Structures are given as structure tokens and as C-alpha cells.
């Protein structure tokens, strides 16, 4: 087995070692209990003041910078829905050119582009793919609230099987309208871009500091990097905002959203749902109004899919190949 690559980076070990200063501050238009706002807060805190962020259209654009006010202290620029990858490449290339020409001082300036699950996982996927083939230093964060949440919750390629959205309302004839299983974006990008050195999944609040350190690691390793975050959404998932952290924790502990890093092609689990007892997905599902219409049969199906991810996949929770390599039969 390949050795895990050592990344020289300053790991934050306790909450007291995190910077006290905010780079994304109070006064935004996100929902009560917004977990995507936690992603914004912690990536900017981890990256620090010498950072430029670009944001694709989506909740974290519209909720933060509409109507001539902003909570961003670091420079931030809006970019189009599918342009997360290209805006990161453009910004990073511009910085390199300005430094080469001596127009700005040589220094490390972090470039971070964030996009939602529609902007990153569906529409902007080709742009992210192109960005991950470059040699520019950039980090793309896909904040995934499993819907087009800004426009009042439409289904995307990342919406969990069975969930209610405005595109997938349960009816008397068809109980389940969201038939698609969640798109497996982070491994897709890792498999397809062998020179991309760092791909990870994370949750902003669980385990504590995990996301914070993953951002620091991604920025330290250099080149194009990618992090996919799991963001419970009180609006679209229909739970009371005070439970945001708990829903996220249950998502990780039930194994429905695997947490791992892929560093130079080696997978390491941040929460190993094979070794640690997985909680039943039922506990996660029944606490959300978007699953209020599903019945035991559906919960059993979702549980069987999650079990298959962890028990049958060649790389559990990551790559959906089963049964190893077989010689060609014909």
C-alpha cells in the first residue's frame, strides 16, 4: 500500500488555536442555523486575510452580497453559476502574471472558489474539471446543501434519494419523485484528474476543526485542489435551525456522507464508518421534514444502499466498483 504523502502544514489542534478574527463577518442574509455560512466562516478563517474568494451564483452569493452590503472582509467576487472553476483559474493566472511582471509583490495569495451543488456538481462540473488539470494554486469548495436552495429548493444531481423538493413533490400516485442516487462528485474528480494532489470531503462542524484543517492542508499542498462539504440546510431539509450541527453529525455517523481525504491517490478516512459503529440512517432521516412522506420500505432501501457503499464497494464509501479485478471473459 502506498504511503500517505506528508503535507507540511500547520495543523490547528484545539479550538483555542484557531484565529479569533473573522474574515466573513456578521450581517449576512443566510437562514437561521445556516451550515453553508459555517463553511464560509471557517474556510476564510483558515485561509486568512491574504485570500481572494470567488463565488458562483447560489445561496452563498445571493444571501451574502445582495443590495449593496457585504459581510466579506476578504476580497470576494461574484461569478456565474457554472464558472467556479474558470474564475479560480483566471484569478490565479492573473496573480501569477502580475507577480512575474513585478506589478505586485511576490507573496502567497490564496485563491478559493466556492460553488453550490448545482453550480459545482451539475452545471459547473466541466469548468472544475478543467481547473483541476492546470498547474495553478487554487482551491475549489463545493458547498452541498443537496438542492438549489437559493431559489426555494429544487432537486439537483446531489439531492438525496427520496427527498422532497419543489421539483420532486410526493403525490398520491408516486410517493418518491427523487429517484436519483446522490452524484459521487469528489471521487469522480479524484479519479479523473490523477495530477490533482488533494481531494477531500468535509462537514463544517463535525468533527470539530476537521474542515478547518482540510482547508489549510489543501492550500499548503499547492496546485489545484478540491473539497466537497456536507451542509445541512434548515430551510430545504425542513428541521428546526437549532439542530443544524446534530443533523450534520448524524449524516456523517450514519455513513450516508463519507468523510475522507484523497492525497496523491491515497484514501484516508476522517470518520471511518467501517470501523466505528454506523448509526441507522433512520435516525438521520426522521429528523427532517423533507423525508416526512417516506415509509419503512424506503428507509430500508436507503439503508441497503448505504450498507452497500461501506460493505461492497472496492474502496468503501468512495469508489463504487465491486468484486475486484476480473480477467476478460470474452
Partner 1 sequence: MIKRVEINYRGIFQKTLAKRIGGDIVIIASRMGKVGFSNGRYSDSPERNGIPCKYFAFVSPDLEEEELEAECGAKLDIDEADVSVVVDDTMVKGVEPWGWHGVRPINEKVVEKGCLLVVSRKRHDELTRFTARTPYSYRLATIDGDASLAGLWVFKDDLTHERVLGAIAAVDPAIIAIDAVEAYLLAKTKQEHRARAAREAYDAVLRQTSVVTPEQGIAWPHETPELPPWHAFEEGAVVRAPARHFEMGPGGQSRNASFKRGTTKTLRPVIRFDLCISCTLCWLDCPDECFDPVEGRLYDVSYAYCVGCGKCADVCPIPECIVMVDELQFDSDASPWEHYRSDPDGYTRWAEEKKGTARYAYPHVTGTGFEIRERESVAPKDLG
- The contact set with partner 1 (CB under 8 A) reads 15-16, 18, 20-22, 24-35, 37-38, 41, 49, 59, 62-63, 65-76, 150-153, 164, 205, 208, 234-236, 238-247, 286-290, 292
SS3 266: strand
Whichever of 32 and 304 has its CB closer to partner 1, that residue is: 32
Cα 257 from Cα 155, distance rounded (Å): 18
Beta carbons of 139 and 219 less than 8 angstroms apart: yes
Q: Which is nearer to partner 1, 121 or 232 (CB)?
A: 232
Tell me the closest approach of the beta carbon of residue 328 to partner 1, in angstroms: 49
Contact 225, 199 (CB under 8 A): yes
Q: Dihedral sign, CA of 92, 93, 96, 98?
A: negative
Q: What is the largest CA-CA distance in the chain?
A: 66
Provide the minimum distance between the beta carbon of 187 and partner 1 in the complex, in angstroms, as a whole number: 28
- Closer to partner 1 by Cβ: residue 20 or 295: 20
- Kindly give, in sequence order, each residue whose CB lies less than 8 Å from that of residue 139, ignoring residues fewer than 6 positions away: 88, 110, 111, 112, 113, 215, 218, 219, 224, 225, 226, 227
Instruction: Report the distance separating Cα 287 and Cα 290, nearest Å.
Output: 9
Which helix (H) or strand (E) element contains residue 259?
strand 259-263
Q: Least distance in Å: CB of 78 to partner 1?
A: 9
Tell me whether residue 6 or residue 67 sits nearer to partner 1 (CB atom). Answer: 67
- Specify the residue, 44 or 225, whose C-beta has the smaller distance to partner 1: 44
Closer CB to partner 1, 174 or 274, in the complex: 174
All 3 cell numbers of residue 303? 439503508
Bridge partner list, 148: 154
Amino acid at each position: 500500500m502506498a504511503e500517505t504523502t506528508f503535507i507540511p502544514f500547520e495543523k490547528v489542534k484545539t479550538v483555542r488555536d484557531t484565529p479569533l478574527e473573522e474574515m466573513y463577518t456578521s450581517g449576512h442574509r443566510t437562514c437561521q442555523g445556516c451550515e453553508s455560512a459555517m463553511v464560509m466562516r471557517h474556510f476564510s478563517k483558515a485561509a486568512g486575510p491574504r485570500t481572494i474568494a470567488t463565488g458562483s451564483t447560489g445561496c452563498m452569493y445571493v444571501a451574502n452580497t445582495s443590495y449593496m452590503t457585504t459581510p466579506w472582509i476578504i476580497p470576494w467576487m461574484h461569478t456565474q453559476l457554472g464558472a467556479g472553476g474558470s474564475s479560480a483559474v483566471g484569478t490565479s493566472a492573473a496573480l501569477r502574471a502580475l507577480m512575474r511582471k513585478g506589478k505586485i509583490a511576490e507573496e502567497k495569495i490564496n485563491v478559493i472558489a466556492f460553488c453550490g451543488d448545482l453550480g459545482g456538481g451539475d452545471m459547473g462540473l466541466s469548468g472544475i474539471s478543467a481547473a483541476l488539470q492546470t498547474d495553478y494554486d487554487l482551491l475549489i469548495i463545493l458547498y452541498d446543501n443537496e438542492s438549489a436552495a437559493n431559489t426555494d429548493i429544487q432537486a439537483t444531481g446531489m439531492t438525496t434519494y427520496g427527498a422532497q423538493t419543489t421539483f420532486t413533490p410526493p403525490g398520491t400516485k408516486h410517493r418518491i419523485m427523487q429517484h436519483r442516487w446522490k452524484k459521487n462528485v469528489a471521487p469522480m474528480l479524484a479519479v479523473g484528474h490523477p495530477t490533482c494532489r488533494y481531494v477531500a470531503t468535509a462537514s463544517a462542524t463535525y468533527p470539530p476543526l476537521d474542515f478547518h484543517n482540510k482547508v489549510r492542508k489543501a492550500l499548503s499542498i499547492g496546485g489545484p485542489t478540491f473539497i466537497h462539504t456536507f451542509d445541512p440546510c434548515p430551510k430545504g431539509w425542513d428541521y428546526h435551525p437549532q439542530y443544524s450541527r446534530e443533523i450534520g453529525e448524524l449524516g456523517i455517523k450514519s455513513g450516508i456522507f463519507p468523510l475522507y481525504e484523497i492525497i496523491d491517490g491515497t484514501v484516508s478516512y476522517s470518520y471511518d464508518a467501517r470501523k466505528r459503529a454506523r448509526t441507522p440512517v433512520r435516525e438521520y432521516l426522521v429528523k427532517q421534514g423533507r423525508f416526512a412522506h417516506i415509509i419503512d420500505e424506503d428507509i430500508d432501501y436507503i439503508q441497503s444502499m448505504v450498507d452497500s457503499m461501506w460493505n461492497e464497494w472496492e474502496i468503501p464509501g468512495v469508489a463504487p466498483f465491486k468484486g475486484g479485478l476480473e480477467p476478460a471473459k470474452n
